[in-house]
Structure 1
Amino acid sequence: MPSSEFSIIDEFFTLKSSQGVPPELGIGDDCAILDVPNDKQLAVSTDTLIEGVHFLASSAPYLLGRKVLAVNLSDLAAMGATPAWVSMAITLPSIDKAWLGQFSDGFFELAKQYNMHLIGGDTTQGPLSITITIMGLLPKTKRLTRSGANVGDSIYVSGSIGNAGLGLQKAQSDEVSVNDADVSAYLNPQPRVELGQQLLGRATSCIDISDGLSADLHHILNASRVGASVIHDTLPLSDSVREHMTCMGDNLWPYSTGDDYELCFTVPASINDIDTKLLAHGITKIGVIEQQPGLRIQLPNGEKVTLNKGYEHFNE
């Protein structure tokens, strides 16, 4: 059983971190030192995940290890960056060797998939929380941002919307199954890193859908100083989500649920043909960027409703 911060780091993290692009100086010193190639720029993002807020207390440690990295990889995907390095600060209520072993196995399995190197972090005692700082590389003159959408651009999303939100509801029930597609979407999100890279130089704006399609599309609209119309019938929804909407009597539910970790992006209207590489990622055109501010949803009956809903961390 590890007995100190340093033995925890050595046993569960240092020995598994030797993969990906090594830093000039990594775990073992007060700081890591990174050598960024002259033709690249560094993209950096930080997220904190807290038990009971971002994940359930019953979360399997292996899947949690994957998820804490996946949701940060999603931020790199939204910028079009290639993953490179990551650091992790973890607060633990107690030292549980079995839990740490499974957590680190899940984390490093996904890190290996994206050729990432753990370069440092911190451990301390307290309520369970994990803070990830992730770093990726971009070409010197290219990046995806939220602020480039133009009037007339087409709006796309990848994958399907609402499954993770439905999966959370199922995961909170007594009859949860990790084999359920919706539960899997919540517990084991798949970051769209390759799609983000392929959107470099093509998309005018991009964001990952973490707080809900409405909230995150609003970020693009506000940053770009534009508005949008979405055709509800074009929204990519699974049968289970459609059934849930019917049971709730709420056709707008998928717009406000979070944790999808798909990409929402815009491309110029002049791009008439989306090539097969992008189509392979399961992207769907859902609307158009407009001059009039706000987000409007065109319902099947022709009615238009204005949306301003999504998950807010400090919503009272």
Structure 2
Amino acid sequence: MNEFELIERYFALPAKALYTPAVLTGIGDDCAVLQPAPDAQLLVSSDMLLEGRHFFAGTDAYRLGHKALATNLSDLAACGAAPLGFTLSLALPQVDEAWLEPFSQGMLALAAHSECPLVGGDTTRGPLTIHITVFGQIPQGQALLRNGAQVGHDIYVSGSIGEARAGLHLLQAQWSCANTPLRTHLIRRLEAPTPRLSLGKHLRGVASSAMDLSDGLCGDLGHLLKASKVGARVDGAALLQTAPRLWQSSELSSWCESKKIAFAMAGGDDYELLFTAHPSFRSYLTELGQELGMGITRIGEVLAEQGLHVLDSQGAAVALNGASFDHFAAD
């Protein structure tokens, strides 16, 4: 099978069935032509996944296809954007049809669910590498950014924090988990995150700042605070309440509270949304979480004094390693 047959069989034909009115020209031409809505701004995000660095060799191909797109869609969600389409550049050591079929199915299933069609890309021979660029749109001036957090605003996270890191530890055999349903859930949280696109759209005009959580809450919140030139106090006990199944498990229930909080703060791959909002939105956000069927948890407050302070349920400071994941520092 040559390059063009590979593209046609696994990507072009199924992708064209997903085209929306925004796709004027997609796969098969030199450039894709997309048409944003009138008075909309274009948002672009790009991400790369490399075997051995971002995912294990032998990772389930269907889930890998899903995650490769989900990580980019999460960036659009953090900005409150609606997807327009995406491109895929794929390096393969060889043509493996048994791998390509589930990989493309996982990716295109999420594309269909998110109304984000594949509109172009490239393939080549090389170490397994997945590079995606995603395009989105948002009404003029409504993009959510990192630099808008205000003193006195609440800090929120969506979903559960720390479960993806727990899934990674299970795959690395750093832990065992006798609870099979929980083990399955934690690994799925690592390998198949859910981009919070619906939440992002509902946060337009509500969130004062936002970003997605990819490299760990401690580091990512630090980036948001730096961009906004403010500080924060985080309620560690509230953070633990986002993932009760994890902390009530027999393997981790004996950990002290501060160890649990530090673990949750340092975990990566959550792909949840971190955002700030004025206290007047508390009731709205509680109702929104119920409407969307997801947790939206207030975990802290923005402070005038710069710096990040994480406290346990007794008000004692929790010691943290403040660095986020660094691709060039991490081995």
TM-score normalized by the length of structure 2 = 0.89
Task: Note the 1:107-126 alignment, pairs <5 A.
Answer: 107-126=107-126
1:226 is the counterpart of 2:222: no
Q: Secondary structure at the match of 2:132?
A: strand
Residue aligning to 2:10? 12
Alpha carbons 2:48, 2:131 under 8 Å: kept: yes
- The C-alpha deviation readout for 1:180-222, integer Å capped at 9, x for no partner, is 1101101111111100000001000111110001111111101
Once residues 233 and 172 of structure 2 are traced to their aligned partners in structure 1, the CA distance between those partners, rounded to angstroms, is 34
Instruction: Indicate the structure with greater helix content.
Output: 2
Residue aligning to 2:303? 290
Once residues 30 and 271 of structure 1 are traced to their aligned partners in structure 2, the CA distance between those partners, rounded to angstroms, is 46
Residue aligning to 2:315? 302
Q: Secondary structure at the match of 2:270?
A: coil
1:268 is the counterpart of 2:282: no
* Unmatched tracts of structure 2, length 5 or more: none
Residue aligning to 1:239? 245
Equivalences, count: 314
Alpha carbons 2:165, 2:268 under 8 Å: kept: yes
Q: Secondary structure at the match of 1:144?
A: coil
Which residue identity lines up with residue 210 of structure 1 in the other structure?
S
Once residues 279 and 156 of structure 1 are traced to their aligned partners in structure 2, the CA distance between those partners, rounded to angstroms, is 15
Alpha carbons 1:257, 1:311 under 8 Å: kept: no
Alpha carbons 1:162, 1:241 under 8 Å: kept: no
Alpha carbons 1:163, 1:241 under 8 Å: kept: no
Once residues 239 and 17 of structure 1 are traced to their aligned partners in structure 2, the CA distance between those partners, rounded to angstroms, is 38
Query: 1:272 Cα shift?
Result: 4.2
Which residue identity lines up with residue 229 of structure 1 in the other structure?
R
Residue aligning to 2:193? 189
Alpha carbons 1:294, 1:306 under 8 Å: kept: no
Query: 1:301 Cα shift?
Result: 3.1
Residue aligning to 2:288? 277
- The C-alpha deviation readout for 1:229-253, integer Å capped at 9, x for no partner, is 0011111233324656556662311
Once residues 194 and 71 of structure 1 are traced to their aligned partners in structure 2, the CA distance between those partners, rounded to angstroms, is 15
1:312 is the counterpart of 2:326: yes
Q: Secondary structure at the match of 1:141?
A: coil
Once residues 308 and 14 of structure 2 are traced to their aligned partners in structure 1, the CA distance between those partners, rounded to angstroms, is 46
Q: Secondary structure at the match of 2:63?
A: helix
Query: 1:27 Cα shift?
Result: 1.3
Once residues 149 and 278 of structure 1 are traced to their aligned partners in structure 2, the CA distance between those partners, rounded to angstroms, is 21
Alpha carbons 2:34, 2:84 under 8 Å: kept: no
Question: Are residues 242 and 227 of structure 1, via their aligned partners in 2, closer, same or farther at CA, if it must alter by over 3 Å?
Answer: farther
Residue aligning to 1:104? 104
- The C-alpha deviation readout for 1:110-129, integer Å capped at 9, x for no partner, is 10001121110010111101
Once residues 74 and 152 of structure 1 are traced to their aligned partners in structure 2, the CA distance between those partners, rounded to angstroms, is 26
- The C-alpha deviation readout for 1:75-112, integer Å capped at 9, x for no partner, is 11000011120000000010001111110011111100
Once residues 311 and 168 of structure 2 are traced to their aligned partners in structure 1, the CA distance between those partners, rounded to angstroms, is 27
Greater shift, 217-226 or 21-30, is seen at: 21-30
Once residues 237 and 199 of structure 1 are traced to their aligned partners in structure 2, the CA distance between those partners, rounded to angstroms, is 22
Once residues 255 and 328 of structure 2 are traced to their aligned partners in structure 1, the CA distance between those partners, rounded to angstroms, is 25
Alpha carbons 2:62, 2:103 under 8 Å: kept: yes
Once residues 184 and 238 of structure 1 are traced to their aligned partners in structure 2, the CA distance between those partners, rounded to angstroms, is 17
Aligned CA-pair RMSD: 2.0
Query: 1:282 Cα shift?
Result: 1.2
- The C-alpha deviation readout for 1:106-153, integer Å capped at 9, x for no partner, is 111110001121110010111101000001110112111101000000
- The C-alpha deviation readout for 1:164-186, integer Å capped at 9, x for no partner, is 01001112339897971101101
Residue aligning to 2:20? 21
Query: 1:269 Cα shift?
Result: 2.4
Once residues 53 and 248 of structure 1 are traced to their aligned partners in structure 2, the CA distance between those partners, rounded to angstroms, is 29
Q: Secondary structure at the match of 2:215?
A: coil
Q: Secondary structure at the match of 1:271?
A: helix
Q: Give me the identity figure in percent.
A: 42
Residue aligning to 2:39? 39
Which residue identity lines up with residue 6 of structure 2 in the other structure?
I
Q: Secondary structure at the match of 1:37?
A: coil
Task: Note the 1:87-236 alignment, pairs <5 A.
Answer: 87-173=87-173, 180-235=184-239, 236=242
* Unmatched tracts of structure 1, length 5 or more: none
Once residues 247 and 328 of structure 2 are traced to their aligned partners in structure 1, the CA distance between those partners, rounded to angstroms, is 27
Greater shift, 46-55 or 177-186, is seen at: 177-186
Q: Secondary structure at the match of 2:65?
A: helix
TM-score normalized by the length of structure 1 = 0.93
Once residues 199 and 21 of structure 1 are traced to their aligned partners in structure 2, the CA distance between those partners, rounded to angstroms, is 24
